Amino acid sequence: MKSAASQQEWLKMLDKGMITLPKAWRSALGLTKGSLIKAQKQGDKVVIEPAENKVPYRLYSDKEIKKFLEEDKISPKLSQKIDAIIKARS
């Protein structure tokens, strides 16, 4: 349902809180399937906007994660020391 103003529409909420943004809005904002969108609750309003070009995280490949885990390993000796400290505190 469109209201008198072209920048306002009534949207129906579907299962799990899903809504559909009008196609004209998506096109005007350059939103396509898979686009990241930022939603923010401001008082009793919800503001939805396209995410900035840079998001505060990045995706890592399985190879990168494996490397991180290898670099993060501690020696067996240090592991035993930590286990002893934890056991002593419990």
pLDDT at position 5 is 43
pLDDT at position 52 is 74
Say whether pLDDT at 7 is over 80.
yes
pLDDT at position 3 is 44
Q: Give the CA count within 13 Å in the CB-facing half-sphere of 87.
A: 6
Rounded Cα distance, 73 and 45, in Å: 46
pLDDT at position 58 is 78
Q: Is the pTM of this model over 0.85?
A: no
Positive or negative: CA dihedral 78, 84, 89, 90: positive
Say whether pLDDT at 2 is over 80.
no
Spatial CA neighbour of 48 closest among 4, 3, 2, 9: 9
Rounded Cα distance, 5 and 17, in Å: 25
48-85 residue pLDDT tens: 888 876 666 778 899 999 999 999 999 999 999 999 99
8-44 residue pLDDT tens: 889 999 999 999 999 999 998 888 888 888 899 999 9
